[in-house]
Structure 1
Amino acid sequence: TPFSCLSSPRTKSITMIVSHSAAKMWSAAASAATKRSKSAVNASSSRAYATSLQSACRREGRKNIEKLAASAFPISTNWRYQLLNNTNKSSFSATTIRAASTFSVTPIGNPKRRKSTAAVLEDIYDEEITDAAALTMDAKSHKEDWMVNLGRENGRVNDWLTGPRGDDWYTGVKPSACPGVSPVEGTDGATAIRSLPLPNLSAVTRESAREYFDNSWTLFETLFAGLKGEEPFYRPPVHGLRHPQIFYYGHTPCLYINKLRVAGVLDKPVNAYFESIFEVGVDEMLWDDMHKNDMVWPTVAEVHEYRKEVYATVVDAIENHPSFDDKYGEGVVVNQDHPMWALFMGFEHERIHLETSSVLFRETPLHLVQTPANWPPIHPSAARQNRPSRPVVGVDYPPNRMIPVKGNDIDLGKPADFPSYGWDNEYGERNVNVPDFLASENMITNGEFWNFVADGGYRNKEYWCEDGWDWRKHRNMKWPFFWEQSGPQGSHEYNLRTIFQVVPMQWDWPVDVNYYEAQAFCRWKTQKDGSPTSQPYRILTEAEHHLMRPKEHDLEASRKDVSADKVMVTPGSEFAKGATGANLNLAFSSQNPVGSFPPSTSGHFDVTGNAWEWTEDHFNPLKGFEVHHVYDDFSTPCFDGKHSMIVGGSFISTGDEASVYARFHFRPHFLQHSGFRLVASDAKAPATHLYPGNFSGQAAARDVVVADDTNDDSNVYESEELLGMYLGLHFPSSGSDEGISSILNHKNSPLHGLSFPQRVAQLLNDLQPQRTNNRALDIGCAVGGSSFELAKHFDHVEAFDFRYEFFVFWSFSLHFKESCFLSAN
């Protein structure tokens, strides 16, 4: 039974408790597992794994295969990968030790006698195990397990991954010859690759698609040329919340293949195994969820070779797929129904990871990174020397006055026919009435935030929400992450980390913080100075942000003129120029002093570009939201009330991220190139809030997602649309005998989830309730589909839900057998 793990490509590690006698069934069990596998590829891998294990044992002259199998029982996809790819005699022992070094074995019959894998291997080999990874296994934390990935490049690593990259690093077009390359001002002939404009999909040619692909692909590989040696490819980030960089190096090409296959453009994988392990990234989840990286990954060389194959495959699709045939020479319209929508999805996905990976680079120890050739320069202001250790307002950073903004209505949402790629959450509509408010002229600078730090803001619990304080304690945060202490403890002297460099502290650059830190500053500022309105200081909302954008490039203007969405017509090399210039689309590779570019119509600086701004809004769907079938879980898992929206883009936001329609999000503890500005208002914030568990995991109804339309008192559960959705889900037919018409005709009814609650209840009914106390509890019962079904078999059913409208629908008690209580909690 345990060997069924072999049939799952997503299985990363499973620790099993076994007896040595059970190992005799190794081959038979592995074979049985393959019969249960739905994947011929996985079945083949399972059989090959068992065969390889036996063959390797014979080559090593080990007589006791049972013991060796027992030591290997903590099966993992990565260990199978290592074994199948290390078949020569000399490498087997070392490979076994490295792969097994993160596991241990507990013999049945004496659970307290837990033996390290090193000890088990010593028993098997009758010799002392000297491999450092195995010897230190029991003392290592999960953060150190990644080291099993090192030293597998066969000596190539020093020549290939250390120092400036040669042309052979680039699997596509090298940056010096790539579309988007341009001269670097103020230098003697230096060039840098920057982003091209976001493609206009109303007239796509093979040539324009190829140019944007090459620009996206080479930008990403240029960034990754900044990793020095193999270690930074495998070292997990210090917070443990993301995969190591080797995953992202393989993830972006993997998505091209998988999504083009879903769209029908490709009919087979390039590397089925890689397209399994590199397919799904990680949401950053809880701030202490740190167990994502215990895996033996492919080598850098292997992923590099995979990237070559994917590049050639995508180029072939661009140049030869019939959907790009252009009979009249006017270009092809690519909309959401076109198969090549998946191609542009790959472009924009790669650009998202260009940015998020750059944050991981910024978190990586400095000795493990290097500035790549042809990478855009950081802002010239970083060259300023002799920066003071204690900033002075008006000297080292500007005063930050509160500027009034006249309220108005804002219509959110991207038109379905707008000719650029967009993610599913951008489409739909919502009208938001924004009351008058005050917003700080600039984003909060490092200089302003220094006062919060020096005043003990990170030590004072009263400024933090409960989750924020727990995060701060868990990380032992005392100042922003990208600040690097340069003086004694308590001196509050800092330098600033950029992606590839440490520079003197730039007091007039926007501070990079997470949502919790921004929130704490607002509370501190309110207590120190008092708010200019009846409400305390807070951060911006999505609707307020759009009211502050330059009128020439806001939502209303872009709906009338495509070029008003500036990223549609402006490359990174030109983005910082002109009357509406901004640090966006990789004009620079760092932030800049606030106020360096012209203000918006409302008088505010850096409303677009420089750094993202945290908002009060939860990530949410607009009215009319629909998932796209090629990527059906891009947004919906994050409609959970636990992700906060960010707006405006940063210096490294390119393509769709730099669009006026962009809607992105992160969990509140997560760090991005993101800051905030102060807002004050007498009215309640015009923000959209969801509630935990709102849509995440609602598999039976995930295609029907309804956001709050009132925004002022946003409770998305108390809406006619949601009630209708649940009525249709729980009671698809009310029964002709009662003369009640079918609720299937009800608007928003999720037809694909018919009888789902009843089927769930039936799983419990099948367990023979009479063998228990005949009582059932239905938590989150909604309108009662599962509850009524349970009441047919259980003597006592208690069902509750916190949504009032569900109980207005059925505010009564029913008695089946003894009782069925329905309680509105």
Structure 2
Amino acid sequence: MDKLTGKKTFSSLKPVDLSTCTKKDIADYFTNSYDLYESLFLGLKDDSVFYKCPDKLRLPLVFYYAHTAAVFMNKLMLAGLAKERINLPFETMFETGVDEMSWDDTENHRMGGSYKWPTMKEVVEYRRKVRELILQIIQETPLELPVTMESPWWAIMMGIEHERVHLETSAVLIRQLPIGLVSCPPGWIYGPTKADFPVKANKMVFVESTDVSVGKPNDFPSYGWDNEYGEEIFNVPSFEASQYLVTNGEFLEFVQHGGYRSRDLWTEEGWQWAQYRQARHPTFWVCDQGCKSGCGADLARETHCPPRLALISGSNNVDEPECKRARAGEYKFRVIFDVIDLPLDWPAEVNYHEAKAFCAWKGQGYRLPTEAEHNVIRGQLPVTKGVVSDIIFHDNIQANLNLQFGSSTPVNLFEASATGHYDTMGNVFEWVEDHFNGLPGFQSHFLYDDFSSPCFDGKHNLIMGGSWISTGAYGSRFARIAFRRHFYQLCGFRLARSKDIEAELPAKAVETSVYILGCGVEENKSMQEIGKQKVVWEPSSNTAYLFDTQETLEGILELEFGFRDSLAAVAARFCSNYCSCNDISTDSVVHIGAATGRTAFELSKTFKQVLGLEPFARLTDTAMSLQRGQAVTFKDGKPVQMDPEYHLDRVTLKQFTWVANEVDIHDLVLLTFLDRVQNAKAWLVRLWEIVNAQGVVAIVGKDDTWNKKSLDVELKNRLEFVSEQKLPYSDFQGKTTACITLWKRI
């Protein structure tokens, strides 16, 4: 059936100037985004392919086709622009994907066919209804300029740009499918495989020492993701960087010289990945050796490298030169919908580990650029008050950006930057040495509090510059994107080398230890092998990671279980009594801020179902241990005692970083942890939607910080104030009081 709810297009508009735009501008940009995304899926041969898993760590493609519309609806609900949901089951099912946190994770439970996905007819109709509603909201919502982060229109721009993020990530997933499941749709145009002149030696180009500013001004009139804002000024010592991205031709030499078999070239983490994947060449190269593909579910045994490969190419718009530097037929190359001869002048597409191994193979001192160096070689364009300084707004973009082509292009096709470096924007993203982290002054946005901050863990590296399919904010000069180091996206790299190997490298590394639920803390060794140069170690900008320490655990465990009348126990008793006295059902309760579990366990005495949500992994792990009956001790070694009257079988504990739709609706919503979260508003805006019409919301603060006056601003038009009371409880200071406010749905 037709997957388009609009028109087919493979052409992208420029983003919206939020200082001068009209409703028509926004509607046109939204329509173009929606159409582009749906058009991408025209390359799937039939409906059955939507239910295939291109990657065993991802969901089937039906999820991603529906996901962007569901997220759009969820953001509009949070912003108050949508008053009613179109399809809550869909907006729950398609809300959250999976993060490829490890290359050897087991398949998600929804992947193996046990999960019942809706039909494509149902999903297409859902997307159609979302499209119609968004256009109606754009038409009916008053528009005040400029649109800022505080404007409800920010939610609309967020939904549009989120769709454009998945235009890129879904293209990669489709590219991972077996070639027999896709076909090149009419109008999809690949780039040329060679420019007017062949790529010659990739020389190193010297760059003088300079200062560079990184970060997007708050008043720049375009949409930006939270991690882009703030400013950091780097002093960048003199360095060299290769004029071109490393090409397939160059990387072929690495492959032919046994690069994938040489342990000494790889970092410890990289070698573990290479051995697990049995990697012999980049994932989008195609040979005839039956290489492991990484697909999931019923595609797990498929290979992109079948023996005695016959070239499959349904496209007639690709210039396919003879592979002169490779043996005839040795390697082919997978573009999104076809297999072609290996284009030697296109950039090599690899993950961080492969890029680092190549650097080691080139010789001592070679490395990847840093984020600051990458900004320098772009030419250090000044930031103007208007949008003209951002390449993605240019009428005639001189880079392989914004879907001018449906593939990479030769690394010498476009002009060099002022420093003499090619493809500093577009073609493929570039891996850099820096860990992903917020800039000084980082603040998450309440509509998408967990967009960036979970990745400030030292396990995600930045990729810079955008790719051929980067559009909108993804193709902006300010974009800061990150993925795990083993991840395959449209990423390549260039070489860099410091002139003074004793100088501090302007590369930022996250020093904070991150506790992973069920795993504990894993040592982060990714920065130990950049030669002898020192890097800048800094704390994570995610305050949850800073808070989630052993010392914090010990303190909260003592506060919750060390006092008979702790705040955790008192709050649970108050809520239970309130429901009983006011004829409120006690079928279900959700406790947001479950910590080490005392409140959830106390609530189980009264409520038939208790859901405890906690964003901090170390605390959640401890609560789960107590629920399982495992021994847990205080700091002094004394065991934590559990009340035999707890009904532990009624309690479900989960680590959540936001109030997702799957939290469902409850008779009582108890929230107790606003003093220890990064963005309090992000945890308040959905409370009205997860309490039933006859239920109550209880918000507890340890002092008067979270009282009626402070909460009214965030809860207005959603929840109605009922009462405010003081709760006496015991802690390390003796007897003290907390403030509890009660609210009900309007």
Q: TM-score range by the shorter chain?
A: 0.5 to 0.7
- Deviation track 1:180-230 (CA, whole Å, cap 9, x = no partner) reads xxxxxxxxxxxxx31111111012311001100111011111111111112
Choose the corresponding residue for 1:600, options 404, 417, 442.
417
Identity of aligned residues (%): 44
Indicate if the aligned counterparts of 1:222 and 1:374 stay in contact, CA closer than 8 A: no
Q: Is 1:262 matched up with 2:99?
A: no
Q: Are the equivalent residues in 1 in contact too, given 2:195–2:413 (CA < 8 A)?
A: no
Partner of 2:680: none
Structure 2 residue identity aligned to 1:663: R
* Correspondent of 2:451 among 626, 629, 634: 634
Is the Cα–Cα contact under 8 Å of residues 399 and 425 in structure 2 kept in the other structure? yes
1:227 correspondence with 2:47: no
* 8 Å contact from structure 2 (residues 509, 535) kept in 1: no
Q: Quick one: which amino acid aligns to residue 500 of structure 1?
A: F
Deviations 1:359-395 (A, max 9, x none): 11111111211222333x11133799xxxxxxxxxx9
**1:514 offset after TM fit, Å?**
0.4
For 1:197-212, list aligned pairs within 5 A: 197-212=14-29
Which of 336, 352, 363 in structure 1 is aligned with 2:149? 336
- 8 Å CA contact 1:445–1:594 kept in 2: the answer is yes
Q: CA deviation at 1:691?
A: 3.7
Q: Which amino acid aligns with 1:335?
A: T
Contact kept? 2:49, 2:181, Cα under 8 Å: yes
> For 1:757 and 1:169, how far apart are their aligned partners in 2?
42
Tell me the residue number matched to 1:433.
235
After superposition, where does 1:101-500 map in structure 2 within 5 Å?
A: 160=1, 168-175=2-9, 193-237=10-54, 239-292=55-108, 293-294=111-112, 295-321=115-141, 323-324=142-143, 332-375=145-188, 377-381=189-193, 397-485=199-287, 493-500=330-337
Q: Distance in 2 between matches of 1:719 and 1:502?
A: 42
The Cα of 1:465 is off from its aligned counterpart by: 1.6
- Aligned mates of 1:495, 1:760 — CA distance in 2: 54
Is the CA contact 1:425–1:625 (under 8 Å) kept in the aligned structure 2?
yes
- Distance (Å, rounded) in 2 between the aligned partners of 1:234 and 1:724: 40
Residue aligned with 1:410, SS: strand
Identify if the C-alpha distance between structure 1 residues 729 and 204 changes in structure 2 by more than 3 Å, giving closer, same or farther: farther
Conserved? CA contact 1:197–1:568, under 8 Å: yes
Contact 1:198 1:569 in 2 (8 A): no
Aligned twin of 1:506: 343
- SS, match of residue 271 in structure 2: helix
Counterpart of 1:565 in structure 2 is 390
Who is 2:489 aligned against? Answer: 672
Q: Is the contact made by 1:639 and 1:694 (CA closer than 8 Å) also made in structure 2? A: no
C-alpha separation in 1, matches of 2:638 and 2:64: 53
CA contact (8 A) 1:397 1:447 kept: no
Could you say if the C-alpha distance between residues 692 and 764 of structure 1 is closer, same or farther in structure 2, counting changes exceeding 3 Å?
A: farther
* In structure 2, C-alpha distance between the alignment counterparts of 1:758 and 1:200, rounded to whole Å: 43
Bigger helix fraction: 1
CA 1:446 to 1:349, structure 2 compared with 1: closer, same or farther past 3 Å?
Answer: same
Question: Taking structure 1 as reference, are residues 722 and 449 closer, same or farther at Cα in structure 2, changes over 3 Å only?
Answer: closer
Aligned AA (2:265):
Y
- Structure 1 gap segments, 5+ residues each: 1-159, 161-167, 176-192, 327-331, 385-394, 576-580, 698-710, 733-755, 767-777, 782-788, 798-815, 817-825
Alignment equivalent of 1:714, drawn from 511, 534, 537 = 537
2:512/2:545 contact within 8 Å kept: no
SS of alignment partner, residue 630 of structure 1: helix
Deviation string, structure 1 residues 415-439 (Cα, Å, up to 9, x no partner) = 1111000001011122222111111
Answer whether contact 1:549 1:607 (CA < 8 A) is retained. yes
Answering whether residue 369 of structure 2 is matched by residue 540 of structure 1, we say: yes
The separation in 2 between residues aligned to 1:718 and 1:296, in whole angstroms, is: 38
Q: Which amino acid aligns with 2:217?
A: P
Moved over 6 A (4+): 487-492, 717-732, 756-759, 761-766, 778-781
Q: CA deviation at 1:550?
A: 3.0
Rounded to whole Å, the distance in 1 between the matches of 2:156 and 2:391 is 22
What residue identity is the alignment partner of 1:563? V
Within a 5 Å distance, the mapping from 1:573-722 to structure 2 comes to 574-575=396-397, 581-681=398-498, 682=501, 683-691=503-511, 693-694=513-514, 712-716=535-539
Alpha-carbon displacement from aligned partner over 1:659-693 (angstroms, at most 9, x marks no partner):
11000011111101110001111234311111464
Does the CA contact (< 8 Å) of 1:541 and 1:686 recur in 2? Answer: yes
Displacement after TM superposition at 1:472 (Å): 1.3
Shift of 1:646: 0.1
Rounded Cα–Cα distance in structure 2 between residues aligned with 1:345 and 1:757:
27
Distance across 1 between alignment mates of 2:173 and 2:637 = 53
CA distance in 1, matches of 2:442, 2:185: 41
Do 2:164 and 2:471's aligned partners in 1 also have CA atoms closer than 8 Å?
yes
Partner SS state of residue 430, structure 2: strand
Q: CA deviation at 1:718?
A: 13
Q: CA deviation at 1:170?
A: 1.8
State the Cα distance separating 1:713 from its structure 2 match: 3.3
CA positional deviation for 1:763? 7.7
Check conservation: 1:486, 1:495, Cα contact below 8 A.
no
Structure 2 distance, partners of 1:449, 1:272, is 48
The alpha-carbon distance between structure 1 residues 432 and 222, as it changes in their structure 2 partners (threshold 3 A), is same
Relative to structure 1, the CA distance from residue 306 to residue 383 in structure 2 (aligned partners, 3 Å threshold; closer, same or farther) is: farther
Q: For 2:172 and 2:424, locate their aligned partners in 1 and report how far apart those are by CA, in whole Å.
A: 21
Contact persistence 1:548–1:601 (CA under 8 A): yes
Contact 1:483 1:494 in 2 (8 A): yes
Question: Retained in 1: the 8 A contact 2:437–2:541?
Answer: no
Q: Distance in 1 between matches of 2:597 and 2:552?
A: 17
When the two chains are superposed, the root-mean-square deviation of aligned CA atoms in Å is 3.5
Identify if the C-alpha distance between structure 1 residues 668 and 779 changes in structure 2 by more than 3 Å, giving closer, same or farther: closer
User: Could you say if the C-alpha distance between residues 516 and 318 of structure 1 is closer, same or farther in structure 2, counting changes exceeding 3 Å?
Assistant: same
Alpha-carbon spacing, 1:379–1:424, altered in 2? closer, same or farther (3 Å): same
Assess, with a 3 A threshold, how the Cα gap between structure 1 residues 410 and 235 changes in structure 2: closer, same or farther.
Answer: same
CA distance in 2 between counterparts of 1:349 and 1:765 reads 38
What letter matches 2:413 in structure 1?
S
Q: 1:730 to 1:428 in 2, by over 3 A?
A: farther
Asked if 2 retains the 8 angstrom alpha-carbon contact of 1:640 and 1:696, the reply is no
Give runs of aligned pairs for residues 45-60 of structure 1, distance below 5 A: none
Shift of 1:407: 1.8
Q: Give the conservation status (yes or no) of the 8 Å contact 1:356–1:672.
A: yes
Counterpart-to-counterpart distance in 2, 1:723 and 1:267: 37
- Measured against aligned partners, the alpha-carbon deviations of 1:438-496 in whole angstroms (never above 9, x if no partner) come to 11111100000001100111111111122211211221110111111169899681111
CA distances 1:320-363 after superposition (whole Å, capped 9, x unpaired): 12x32x6xxxxx32110011101000111000100011111111
Task: Give the TM-score of the pair, scaled to structure 1.
Answer: 0.59
Q: Secondary structure at the match of 2:259?
A: coil
SS of alignment partner, residue 196 of structure 1: coil
SS of equivalent to 1:225: helix
* 3-state SS of 1:273 partner: helix
User: 2:355 aligned with 1:518, yes or no?
Assistant: yes
Q: Which amino acid aligns with 2:379?
A: P
> 2:409 is matched by which residue type in structure 1?
N
